[in-house]
Amino acid sequence: MIVGIMGAMPEEIDPILKRLENVTKHEIADNIYYTALYGSLDLVIAYSKIGKVFSALTAATMIERFGVKKMLFSGVAGAINPELRIGDLIAATKLCQHDLDITAFGHPYGYVPEGSVYIEADPRLLEVAATAARTQGVKLRRGIVATGDQFVADEARKEWIGETFDADALEMEGASVAVVCDALKVPFFILRAISDAADMDAGFDFDAFLQSSALKSADFIFTMLDELDRAQ
């Protein structure tokens, strides 16, 4: 089976690459894709760069050029749900685009004709993730993740996104990856570590968090890979 692993930033895939042997680099469309074998799984790994366009391009390339059959995405997100705390892991049950707005034509926020407001994650991969969480003894939350080409720092905007889409967390790539995978019939899973929340303080160091969360997320992804390998 060919499994794709994506992040948005180099820091999000580096811990994964460091645990693999005989990694091969491929330069395509101004990006670098890495391939390696892990057990019985052929892995294709890349960071997309930030935003919906780059993440859609990367996901489509991984599927069309490398034949990826399942897609795993790992990265960070901001909390909307007040129950989420820094460092919490959340698996997206479905995703939406909070910045997609053609309400002037009578459509709801996030909707585009011949599409839908939400794209649902693969239930089988969500169960694999639940098994991985039990194996690791970590708490994995589930919820709705909203995506947009905006770094949202305004509390009023966050509240609006939460109320409009019933969203729990906020990021910049997940829904575009979901749209590509859904259109190309590739099961996908989106994992996010919460990087900012209502309880954060002025002493918070994002760079340090990114490094630690990338290690934690990589461990989780490898546990999922072990489950997929066993199921082969």
Give just the sign of the alpha carbon dihedral 137, 119, 72, 216.
negative
Spell out a b/e string for 192-201, using b for 16 or more CB atoms within 10 Å of the CB, else e.
Answer: bbbbbbeebe
Does 196 participate in catalysis according to the annotation?
Answer: yes
DSSP 121: P
Query: Quick one: what percent of the chain has pLDDT higher than 90?
Result: 81
Q: Average pLDDT for residues 177-198, to the nearest whole number?
A: 92
User: Of the candidates 27, 90, 110, 24, which has an alpha carbon nearest to the alpha carbon of residue 61?
Assistant: 27
- Give the tens place of pLDDT for each residue, 91-112: 999 999 999 999 999 999 999 9
> Which DSSP category does 8 fall into?
S
Rounded CA-CA distance 41/128 in Å is 15
Mean pLDDT of 13-38: 96
Q: What is the CATH number of the domain that holds 186?
A: 3.40.50.1580
pLDDT-derived band of residue 63, with 50, 70 and 90 as boundaries? very high
Instruction: List the domain range (segments joined by +) for residue 215.
Output: 2-231
R_g of the chain, CA atoms, integer Å: 17
SS3 assignment, position 107:
coil
Position 205 pLDDT exceeds 70: no
Q: Is the pTM of this model over 0.75?
A: yes
Give the three-state DSSP class for 23: coil
Domain count, the chain: 1
The whole-angstrom separation of Cα 27 and Cα 203 is 39
> Is 101 considered catalytic here?
no
Tell me which of 12, 88, 171, 173 is the catalytic residue.
Answer: 12
Give the pLDDT score at 171. 95
Asked if residue 191 has pLDDT above 90, the reply is yes
- Among residues 99, 120, 149, 196, the one annotated as catalytic is 196
Distance of CA 231 to the CA centre of its chain: 23
Please check the confidence at residue 204 and state whether its pLDDT lies above 80. no
Instruction: Give the pLDDT of residue 124.
Output: 97
